[in-house]
């Protein structure tokens, strides 16, 4: 039993301690640092695997430490937590390998990997948080640990991005905190519960509940990049590629989306939320974000900026799933949490490869890149199709469930949004795909990171291929046990029981 009580804490500590060690490691200790990084990442995965096995065999994992009189620091492994934890730990491993290759020879690597580990610690902590106080703790930790990553390069542009990021996220954090304290006052508890914390406080004043909901969604929506709170995300793409990959796929944006899912299902409870009439506005906001993000993506020439706006759009699928009442849409939204993570991290890895190997940052310079980087571009093309929602890829699965859920709930406008999004996705991804495969190269490329056998550093190429394959598998084997879709079904079953 005691082991069950410590496991969630160990999962969090496995990267926290690595991070702290790495901070104090000399800049030149490259091997030790890499070994520590990988050991931390793999150790975490092993622990999570044990927990997954345990959750399946009805173990109850919960760490509870007193924090304040009346509040505990709670880490708990429920189904939703396990989904997000597995995603972040898995992608952390790939991103670590990628970052080791990406940053080779650049300064401040100990600092970078130290904060990188803290960032993952915060994400995993968020995922496992069993109550809102713990959630807020890790939410702010995430803000603080990503700031140094965004400004890592120390250029004027990076500093500016860091400043914008802080303005948005700290304000969001303050709103969230206020919402949590208020919620605690109304409900008398902040511990997540299936069916909602507020279930006993149903009789509370409607205006108060609306106020709390607005504060929570406002605070979380900043990180989730809901329009009009998305302004920091496209600016923050000046960060090094592994950071963007992590930021867009798991860490920051997903933390916000995950928090909104938690708010709807485990804080308010989906039934109370539906009765309050807050689900529809959430869905509309998500729908508007989807279309707006895609439209803005269309106009970008900078590859990473286009991907950034694409994230703004794609992450809102998760909120859309939360905003449509009914288990089917929930499945779509929750599954997209993982699907979007796998696909977007691959896209950013590929963008980083192109930039590091050939020095190309703009889409207009990408003619014929597929000849020089066939494997990278194959992964890119595959996931781009996934994003568009081409069957049987992962994005299609999410959209299918979202659309089906919307039909069941009678929300026909959602189908319009989904169709528009697919078309727009095609409009901003297909030209890239066409350019890299079918246009002849313009002039010669500068040479960056090259390798004798591979098209670029293996540490850059292999993670991209691996996550690309995972994204493919998530779509192809969607009904296999342990697939993201199956977990999402499990979660939805429990929420609507």
Partner 1 sequence: MPWMILIPLGASTLSFLLGERARWQLTAAAVAGQGWALAGLLMQVWEEGPQRHPVGGWGAPLGIDLRADGLSATMLTMTALVGGFVSVYALGCFSRDRAGGAYFWPLWWFLWAALNALFLSGDVFNLYVTLELLGLGAVALVCLGGEPGALVAGLRYLLAALLGSLAYLMGVALLYGAHGTLALDQLGLLVRPGIASTVAAALMTVGLLLKTALFPLHYWLPPAHGGAPVPVSALLSGLVVKASFYILLRLWFEVFPAALTPAWAQGLGGLGAAAIVWGAWHAFHQEKLKMLVAWSTVAQIGYLFLLFPLATSVAPAEAALAWSGGVYQALSHGLAKAAMFLAAGSMIHATGEERVESLDGISRHLPLTLFTFALAGMNLMGLPPSGGFIAKWLLLESALASGQWGWVAVLITGALLTAGYVFRVLRHAFLPPRPDARVHVLPGYMELAAFALAIGSLLLGLTATFPLTLLEVGAPFAGVRAMP
Decide if 471 contacts 59 (C-beta within 8 A): no
CB of 134 to partner 1, least distance (A): 9
Q: Which is nearer to partner 1, 188 or 391 (CB)?
A: 188
Q: Which of residues 185-214 bind partner 1 (CB under 8 A)?
A: 185
CB of 151 to partner 1, least distance (A): 5
Q: Residue 463 to residues 218, 350, 429: CA-CA distances in angstroms?
A: 34, 10, 21
Report the distance separating Cα 418 and Cα 401, nearest Å: 11
Report the distance separating Cα 52 and Cα 82, nearest Å: 7
Binding mask 117-136 for partner 1 (x = CB under 8 A): ----------------x--x
Three-state DSSP class for residue 386: helix
Bond prior to 392 in cis (omega within 30° of 0): yes
Site for partner 1 contains 162 (CB under 8 A): yes
Q: Which of 308, 166, 292 is nearest to 234 (CA)?
A: 308
CB of 100 to partner 1, least distance (A): 20
What is the widest separation between alpha-carbon atoms in the chain?
70
Among 171, 404, 437, 473, binds partner 1 (CB under 8 A): 171
Q: Which of 353, 339, 333 is nearest to 414 (CA)?
A: 333
Q: Which of residues 84-123 bind partner 1 (CB under 8 A)?
A: 107-108, 111
Q: Residue 370 to residues 218, 388, 466: CA-CA distances in angstroms?
A: 42, 20, 18
Q: Which is nearer to partner 1, 107 or 200 (CB)?
A: 107
Among 38, 45, 144, 390, binds partner 1 (CB under 8 A): 144
**Residue 246: other Cβ atoms inside 10 A:** 31
Report the distance separating Cα 450 and Cα 359, nearest Å: 12
Q: Using the structure block, give the residue that is written with the tokens 């937590």.
A: 81
Binding mask 14-33 for partner 1 (x = CB under 8 A): ---------xx---------
Report the distance separating Cα 147 and Cα 382, nearest Å: 32
Among 2, 66, 447, 453, binds partner 1 (CB under 8 A): 66
Site for partner 1 contains 140 (CB under 8 A): yes
Q: Which is nearer to partner 1, 163 or 441 (CB)?
A: 163
Report the distance separating Cα 197 and Cα 264, nearest Å: 10
Q: Which is nearer to partner 1, 181 or 407 (CB)?
A: 181
CB of 212 to partner 1, least distance (A): 11
Q: Which is nearer to partner 1, 173 or 405 (CB)?
A: 173
Binding mask 300-339 for partner 1 (x = CB under 8 A): ----------------------------------------
Site for partner 1 contains 184 (CB under 8 A): yes
Handedness of CA 477, 52, 100, 38 (dihedral sign): negative
Site for partner 1 contains 148 (CB under 8 A): yes
Decide if 356 contacts 241 (C-beta within 8 A): yes
Site for partner 1 contains 74 (CB under 8 A): no
Q: Which is nearer to partner 1, 100 or 212 (CB)?
A: 212
Among 10, 170, 193, 427, binds partner 1 (CB under 8 A): 170
Alpha-helical segments (H) within 188-302: 206-224, 232-235, 241-249, 252-262, 270-276, 279-298
Q: Which is nearer to partner 1, 136 or 369 (CB)?
A: 136
What lies within 8 Å, CB to CB, of 250 at 6+ separation is 87, 88, 91, 92, 123, 341, 345
Site for partner 1 contains 256 (CB under 8 A): no
As a whole number of Å, the end-to-end CA separation of the chain is 28
Among 154, 392, 410, 416, binds partner 1 (CB under 8 A): 154
DSSP helix, strand, coil percent of the chain (3-state; round to 5): 75, 5, 20
Q: Which is nearer to partner 1, 174 or 299 (CB)?
A: 174
Q: Which is nearer to partner 1, 132 or 324 (CB)?
A: 132
CB of 87 to partner 1, least distance (A): 24
Q: Which parts of this chain interact with partner 1 (CB under 8 A)?
A: 23-24, 66-69, 73, 107-108, 111, 133, 136-137, 140-141, 144, 147-148, 151-152, 154, 159, 162-163, 166, 170-171, 173-175, 177-178, 181-182, 184-185
């Amino acid at each position: 039993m005691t082991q069950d009580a410590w496991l969630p804490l160990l999962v969090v500590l496995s990267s926290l301690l690595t991070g702290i060690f790495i901070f104090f490691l000399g800049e030149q200790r490259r091997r030790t640092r890499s070994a520590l990084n990988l050991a931390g990442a793999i150790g975490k995965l092993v622990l999570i695997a044990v927990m997954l096995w345990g959750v399946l065999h009805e173990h109850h994992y919960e760490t509870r430490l007193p924090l304040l009189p009346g509040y505990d620091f709670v880490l708990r492994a429920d189904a939703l937590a396990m989904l997000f934890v597995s995603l972040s730990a898995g992608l952390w491993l790939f991103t670590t390998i990628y970052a080791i290759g990406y940053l080779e020879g650049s300064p401040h690597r100990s600092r970078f990997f130290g904060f990188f580990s803290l960032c993952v610690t915060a994400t995993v902590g968020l995922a496992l948080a069993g109550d809102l106080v713990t959630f807020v703790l890790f939410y702010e930790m995430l803000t603080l640990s990503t700031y140094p990553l965004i400004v890592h390069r120390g250029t004027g542009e990076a500093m500016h991005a860091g400043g914008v990021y802080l303005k948005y996220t700290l304000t969001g954090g303050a709103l969230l905190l206020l919402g949590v304290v208020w919620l605690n006052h109304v409900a008398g508890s902040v511990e997540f519960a299936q069916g909602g914390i507020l279930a006993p406080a149903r009789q509370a004043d409607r205006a108060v509940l609306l106020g709390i909901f607005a504060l929570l969604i406002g605070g979380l929506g900043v990180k989730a990049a809901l329009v009009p709170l998305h302004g920091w995300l496209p600016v923050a793409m000046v960060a090094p590629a592994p950071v963007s990959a992590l930021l867009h796929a798991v860490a920051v944006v997903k933390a916000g989306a995950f928090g909104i899912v938690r708010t709807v299902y485990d804080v308010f409870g989906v039934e109370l939320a539906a009765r309050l009439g807050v689900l529809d506005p959430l869905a509309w906001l998500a729908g508007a974000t989807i279309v707006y993000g895609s439209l803005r993506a269309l106009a970008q020439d900078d590859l990473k900026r286009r991907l950034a706006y694409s994230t703004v759009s794609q992450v809102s699928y998760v909120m859309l799933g939360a905003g449509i009442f009914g288990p089917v849409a929930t499945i779509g939204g929750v599954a997209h949490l993982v699907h979007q993570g796998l696909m977007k991290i691959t896209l950013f890895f590929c963008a980083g490869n192109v930039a590091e190997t050939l020095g190309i940052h703009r889409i207009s310079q990408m003619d014929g890149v597929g000849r020089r980087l066939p494997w990278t571009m194959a992964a890119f093309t595959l996931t781009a199709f996934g994003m568009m929602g081409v069957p049987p890829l992962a994005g299609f699965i999410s959209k299918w469930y979202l659309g089906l859920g919307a039909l069941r709930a009678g929300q026909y406008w959602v189908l319009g949004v989904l169709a528009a999004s697919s078309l727009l996705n095609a409009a901003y991804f297909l030209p890239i795909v066409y350019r890299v495969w079918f246009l002849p190269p313009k002039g010669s490329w500068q040479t960056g990171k090259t390798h004798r056998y591979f098209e670029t550093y293996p540490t850059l190429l292999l993670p991209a291929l691996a996550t690309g394959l995972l994204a493919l598998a998530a779509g192809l084997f969607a009904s296999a046990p342990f697939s993201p879709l199956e977990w999402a079904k499990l979660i939805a079953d429990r929420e609507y029981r």
